[in-house]
Amino acid sequence: MNQLAEKFSEYFHLTPAAGAAAPGRLEVLGNHTDYNEGFVLSCAVGQNTAIVLSPLPGTQCRVMDFRENCEMTFDLADMDAPPPRNGCAYIIGMMNEMRKRGCVFNHGFAAGLESSVPLSAGMSSSAALETAAGFALGKLFNFSLDKAEWARAGQGVENNFLGLKTGLLDQFSSIFGKRDAIIMSDFRTVEVIDTLPLASGYVFVVINSMKKHHLVDSDYNVRRENCESAARKLAAIYPGVSTLRDVTPAMLESAADKLSRMELLRARHVVNECDRVKAAAAILRAGDMKAFGRLLYASHESSRVNFENSTPELDYLVELSRTVPGCIGARLSGGGFGGISIHLVEADAAKEYASRVCTAYKLQTGIDAEHFICSIGDGAKIFL
């Protein structure tokens, strides 16, 4: 943060007046359950996006991205224009959401931005940017929201400004993450309902398949529609059902003939995934890491056959995890259709494990996979 403040001062010849940092996140278990008002296990990662700000007279906003070494600008008068094709889209989107909630932007600002969250790696670099921007802008413009509402504002950027019908998971985890813990969240009440330990001696290794197919956004939105139409049909059979969160696996199977094949498969994934998350809480508390690992594998298998959001590359990474020593569970993580896999690995074996999986992956696919050994960090904070 100090370094960022120094770079900012050197570049803009201004003293920073506000600053905030927000981490990326890892979806540990609970795939596509958030927008079905279900349960998710997630954590904030050690990598952050940080922003410092100073007020500027007039309506110009200057944003210097020190990672890319490029400056972007926009004018307060253009906030309603379609999103620009650069990082400012997330900042302007957040400002729009803040404005809807009563924040007044009566002058421009200079912003310095730096991030260690890998881009397009399934660790929610966009949520980290939205959250850091929101927190820092809130400080500069004397505006605050409660934490869950900040998460909704970040989700609003995706839903209303960028056209992605994503749930709350990414921003929520970036805000509520706790160092060295896995948080269990309920996306109906929108709160953290449990904080669980990851047994010492294990780490998450993230391996990026480096493949993301083009239609990801529309695939995501279509999956969400399938889930919602399944819930509507089930609600007509079972009073009291409003989302898939309210459906048990037995209820679903006995109403199977009332749903289209797609609706049934998508709902099967979500409904069983919620059960897996609930089961995982007790398992983690008991420290039964092997049982937890089996839940990760079961989640991946359900993504592969029911939700159909895996890819041959992700399947191959998960298959490799069963043959390279050290790993006790693996799955795709995040939206899917490419992106990252997470592997629960004995800490001592993690380095060797990651390099052996990446070597085998390269031999099979020709692709150099990125990998990270994840540390679990705290949620977003205002530091200036």
Query: Are 160 and 94 spatial neighbours (Cβ–Cβ below 8 Å)?
Result: no
**Interaction between residue 269 and ligand GLA (CB under 6 A):** no
Q: Distance between CA atoms of 342 and 205, rounded to whole angstroms? A: 6
Q: Distance between CA atoms of 90 and 82, rounded to whole angstroms? A: 12
In angstroms, the Cα distances linking 26 to 19, 106, 260, 265 are: 24, 36, 32, 25
CB of 218 to ligand GLA, least distance (A): 14
Query: Are 43 and 183 spatial neighbours (Cβ–Cβ below 8 Å)?
Result: yes
Q: Distance between CA atoms of 369 and 56, rounded to whole angstroms? A: 42
CB of 222 to ligand GLA, least distance (A): 13
Among 4, 22, 23, 35, binds ligand GLA (CB under 6 A): 35
Select the span of 26-34, 52-60, 65-73, 206-214 touching ligand GLA (CB under 6 A): 26-34
Active-site position among 34, 78, 80, 170: 170
**Interaction between residue 32 and ligand GLA (CB under 6 A):** yes
Which stretches of the chain are assigned E, i.e. beta strand? 18-29, 39-56, 60-65, 70-75, 108-115, 181-186, 191-197, 202-212, 327-333, 338-346, 371-373, 376-377, 381-382
The torsion angles phi and psi of 155, rounded to 5 degrees, stand at -65, -35
CB of 32 to ligand GLA, least distance (A): 5
Select the span of 31-39, 196-204, 284-292, 298-306 touching ligand GLA (CB under 6 A): 31-39
In the region spanning residues 140 to 169, those forming contacts with ligand GLA, defined by CB under 6 A, are 166-167, 169
Binding mask 170-209 vs ligand GLA (x if CB under 6 A, - otherwise)? x---------------------------------------
- Residue 162 or residue 210: which is nearer to ligand GLA going by CB? 162
Q: Is 170 a catalytic residue?
A: yes
CB of 199 to ligand GLA, least distance (A): 24
DSSP string, 341-359: EEEEEEGGGHHHHHHHHHH
CB of 299 to ligand GLA, least distance (A): 10
Query: Are 155 and 149 spatial neighbours (Cβ–Cβ below 8 Å)?
Result: no
Q: Distance between CA atoms of 268 and 232, rounded to whole angstroms? A: 15
Q: Distance between CA atoms of 284 and 343, rounded to whole angstroms? A: 16
Instruction: Output the CA torsion sign for 383, 155, 107, 63.
Output: positive
**Interaction between residue 54 and ligand GLA (CB under 6 A):** no
Select the span of 27-35, 56-64, 277-285, 297-305 touching ligand GLA (CB under 6 A): 27-35
- Residue 54 or residue 166: which is nearer to ligand GLA going by CB? 166
CB of 75 to ligand GLA, least distance (A): 29
Q: Which residues bind ligand GLA (CB under 6 A)?
A: 27, 31-32, 34-35, 166-167, 169-170, 334-335
Q: Which residues are catalytic?
A: 170
